[in-house]
Amino acid sequence: MSPTPLVVIGAGTIGRTHIDRIVRSEGLCLAGIADPTDAGKALAQQLNVPWYADHLRLLEAVKPKGAVVATPNACHIPMALDCLDRGVAALVEKPLADTVAEAQILVDAQARTGVPVLVGHHRRYNPINRRARELLQAGRLGQLVSANVMSTVFKPDAYFDVAWRRQKGGGPVLINLIHEIDMLRFLCGEITSVQAMASNAVRAFDVEDTAAAVLRFANGALGTVVLSDTAASPWCWDFCAGEQDQYPRQNVQSHYLTGTQGSLSLPDLALWSYAGERSWHAEITREERNVHKADPYTQQLLHFAAVIACAEPPLCSALDGLRTLQATLAVSEAANSGQAVNLALKLADKETSA
């Protein structure tokens, strides 16, 4: 089969990750880059692929099968719509949009055109999470009881030299939490209600440095996420799952799922269960599951090619991107208002499936 021609729109930090993985993957072919910067043009020249400052000119000149939209958040929806209008499938980076209303426009356009959309929640493609989901779906934990996530890191002072990172909206809830929310939705199912608190007690910027969210899932399980960018701590998926070369690897766990028959920690995939009677007086035993290692960004792109070829349904559809965005924004809303946000009502809203 001939390689699937993909273009990348936006050759910044994550765009370059996609470009690197496309170039290195058999079955994929980098058909061009759109990015108005000199650095983007230089990269295209170095890789000997077509370059355009403007994504529309790229789409029209190259006519790729798919486009990776890796531009700033506000560009995601208009650019993805441009792709769909031309019959080009779109892999749109997270967050799908700035607002749920904008995300809905893309969900509707996808349904209308039938052109595939995938949202770049790359953790879904990590074999650890694929295996964890299989264990949950096979009932190895029994009925899900709880999910606890630690996402606590220390961002150095220089990170905050950029003004928007000190202002509302620039904090860990809207920047980092979305990865945790999507991973929880992938593993535990739909989130129906959110309560949250946020604090700026350490850095004293307008934006939060720490937040704690309490979630209710549709299956009745409860979840907590503790998130901070001012905590000198190793407990974060980015440090222990080995997905990001930019962070030193830590041999710790960040996610704990409990059920009536057993419990699972991640990323070590340790399954805890009772051999006999389930009782806090009996010994509970630990069994570690092994999975092959695979780069989630590469897996995501290979899946994108399979979705384009109609060989697989999207693992993270536009509607998934919308739902994850909605639950993430709900954490912010709940922290600001002090009130629980009921997502069950919103879930019952317009259900145009991707």
- Closest distance to ligand NAD from the beta carbon of 286 (Å): 31
Nearer to ligand NAD by Cβ, of 121 and 216: the residue is 121
Residue 120 lies near ligand NAD (rule: CB under 6 A): yes
The answer to the question of residue 127 lying near ligand NAD (CB under 6 A) is no
Residue 113 CB: number of other CB atoms within 10 A?
A: 15
Q: Is 203 in the site for ligand NAD (CB under 6 A)?
A: no
Q: How many CA atoms lie within 13 A of 267 on its CB side?
A: 24
Q: Give the nearest distance from C-beta 39 to ligand NAD in angstroms.
A: 7
Question: Per CB under 6 A, does 82 bind ligand NAD?
Answer: no
Q: How far is the CB of 103 from ligand NAD (least distance, A)?
A: 13
Q: How far is the CB of 183 from ligand NAD (least distance, A)?
A: 12
Tokens of 12: 């910044």
Question: Rule CB under 6 A: is residue 94 a binding residue for ligand NAD?
Answer: yes
Q: Using CA atoms, how far apart are residues 225 and 236, in angstroms rounded to an integer?
A: 11
Comparing C-alpha atoms, which of 11, 13, 60 is closest to residue 36?
11
The DSSP output letter for 35 is: -
Under the binding rule (CB under 6 A), the answer on residue 72 touching ligand NAD is yes
Binding-residue pattern over the window 283 to 302 for ligand NAD, x denoting contact by CB under 6 A? --------------------
Please identify, using beta-carbon distances, which residue of 30 and 221 lies nearer to ligand NAD. Answer: 30
Shortest Cβ distance from residue 232 to ligand NAD (Å)?
Answer: 23
Q: Which is nearer to ligand NAD, 2 or 13 (CB)?
A: 13
Q: Which long-range contacts (CB under 8 A, 24 or more apart) does 45-51 make?
A: 47/19, 47/23
Residue 14 near ligand NAD by CB under 6 A: yes
Rounded CA-CA distance 8/50 in Å is 11
Question: Is residue 111 within 8 Å of residue 323, measured between CB atoms?
Answer: no
User: Taking a C-beta distance cutoff of 8 angstroms, is the pair 125, 241 a contact?
Assistant: no
Q: Which residues pair with 145 in a beta bridge?
A: none
Q: Minimal CB distance to ligand NAD: which residue? A: 12
Which of 6, 8, 11, 141 is in the footprint of ligand NAD by CB under 6 A? 11
The verdict on 93 binding ligand NAD (CB under 6 A) reads: yes
Query: Are 66 and 6 contacting, i.e. CB atoms less than 8 angstroms apart?
Result: yes
Residue 325 makes CB contacts below 8 A (sequence gap 6+) with 95, 96, 97, 100, 103, 178
- Closest among 110, 54, 52 to 85, alpha carbons compared: 110
Complex with ligand NAD: residue 15 or 267, whichever CB lies closer: 15
Residue with smaller CB distance to ligand NAD, 37 or 339: 37
Q: Which DSSP category does 283 fall into?
A: P
Restricted to residues 15-44, the positions that interact with ligand NAD (CB under 6 A) are 15, 34-37, 40
The maximal CA–CA distance of the chain, rounded, in angstroms, is 69
Distance CA 130, CA 118 (A): 17
Among positions 7, 9, 107, 153, the unique one binding ligand NAD when judged by CB under 6 A: 9
Task: Spell out, one character per residue from 40 to 59, where the chain touches ligand NAD: x when CB under 6 A holds, - when not.
Answer: x--------------x----
Question: Nearer to ligand NAD by C-beta: 61 or 218?
Answer: 61
Cα–Cα distance, 303 to 1 (Å, whole number):
15
Q: Give contact residues for ligand NAD (rule: CB under 6 A).
A: 9-15, 34-37, 40, 55, 70-73, 75, 93-94, 120, 122
